[in-house]
Structure 1
């Protein structure tokens, strides 16, 4: 249980939002509908108020924001009780996925080019125009709030940029996100080079464990990271109505 709460809490630090409310140990996160992660309720504590009253409060707050009520749930025991209540109240599963983690060992790393956030996002959208289409400004506004050590990296081959990735360090944990390669450059070892380079940034600054989240809709990525030494920490899903 401790590891789940620790990693869930870490993720609220590395994925900032515009507004957060705290209600009986539950975090209500709002970011103008940017993503499920940034616009949902995270029950980080079991709470002392009755479940029905707490859910009703959350629903009221999301209604004020003109957003669908969304809850992030994991394998924690008290999350299962919340999940059953939401299911019986008509909430559907909007997305499911896994949190993967691995211990960082002193392996050879790849030198990666890093860019300031704005230039890095420019490159990301140039290489992958479908990436969060139409939310470029909103994404930069959110990421620019991060005060933790963050590396926005680019991987190159034959003198051109072929992919990108991002790593954020919070204490001994290194969060990996937005790893992507041009389709024609996949299955050539560049994904592992990108991963090694990002992990190297964290190791150089004392990180001992890496973790990331993956949607179940991306089985190829899950297979890649498992082959790279990551293992399941816990599953998660979002319920929405």
Structure 2
């Protein structure tokens, strides 16, 4: 897949990322995908540029702002590094805030870095069990509403998915991760380690188990994920797992005016 033309390859990765963390509701408008999930996470409550479109940016933003306002939310635009520079100028004019959390979308080719499952990781296919969800809620300090929305998002997954948990000898869960497979790519999400058990390689075991499952059970040939650009420890971890190729970057701009 990585031998595809760069623009087509980037689009395949983008599709895997969108399908791997679905919104609860979506609206397509002139090449833009407006995602909604009760305000839970920017990724599922933002405008994504999936096509070129024909309308002026200002007109499209007015539509987006009205739609999000009807749901009691600000308009948030996910601006990829491949976007037309004119979009940033229009966002400035419409009083959107500064860029938030520049992120890198990374790719791992299984031919170059074959994944290996960890015997310490247990997996659940389709949906996670109560222990996985409870641990994630605790580690992310989720409110009751956030827990319910997160579960609904996972229940909205339409592609094959696996949830990995690494247990310690005493039975405690030390790290989590999940992945959803789309068109030969597994998108990895929700990688989290209990702060009490960091620097033990637990997240690595969780992620590598997700990758191995995707390859063995779904025939995946590669993986992708998103990581905040200045999160050096996470970037270093993913690079050791073969995520050495940066496909594109993105940041968010939030309506504040």
How does the TM-score come out when normalised to structure 2? 0.85
Tell me how large the CA RMSD over aligned residues is.
1.8
Question: Alignment partner of 2:199: what SS?
Answer: coil
**The one of 216, 222, 226 aligned to 1:213:** 226
Would you say the 8 A contact 1:95–1:239 is kept in 2? no
TM-score by length of 1: 0.91
The aligned length equals 238
Q: Is the 8 A contact 2:177 2:203 kept in 1?
A: no
Q: Confirm or deny: 8 A CA contact 1:24 1:47 kept in the other structure.
A: yes
Q: How far apart in 2 are the matches of 1:132 and 1:83? A: 32
SS state of the match for residue 165, structure 1? strand
**Structure 2 match to 1:137:** 148
Higher mean displacement: 209-218 or 63-72? 209-218
C-alpha distance in 2 between matches for 1:17 and 1:77 = 22
1:114 and 2:123 matched: yes
* Residue range with higher mean Cα deviation, 222-231 or 54-63: 222-231
Change (3 A) 1:147 1:155: same
Corresponding position: 1:164 with 2:198: no
- CA distance 1:178–1:55, change in 2 (3 Å): same
Runs (4+) of structure 1 exceeding 6 A deviation are none
Structure 2 runs not aligned, ≥5 long: 1-6
Indicate whether 1:34 and 2:40 are aligned.
Answer: yes
CA distance in 2, matches of 1:11, 1:132: 22
Deviation string 1:135-158 (CA, Å, 9 cap, x unpaired) is 101110111111211111111222
1:199 is matched with 211
Q: Does 1:44 pair with 2:50?
A: yes
C-alpha distance in structure 2 between counterparts of 1:125 and 1:53, whole Å: 39
CA contact (8 A) 2:160 2:180 kept: yes
Q: Deviations over 1:161-220 (max 9, x none)?
A: 211111111120001111122223222232322222111001102101111111235332
> Residues 21, 107 of structure 1: CA spacing in aligned structure 2 closer, same or farther, 3 A cutoff?
closer
- 2:16–2:181 Cα contact (<8 Å) kept: no
Shift of 1:60: 1.3
The range that moved more, 41-50 or 209-218, is 209-218
CA contact (8 A) 2:180 2:186 kept: yes
1:103 aligns with 2:109: yes
- Equivalent positions of 1:63-102 (< 5 A) are 63-78=69-84, 80-92=85-97, 93-102=99-108
In the alignment, structure 1 segments of 5+ residues that lack a partner are none
Q: Which residue of 2 aligns with 1:182?
A: 194
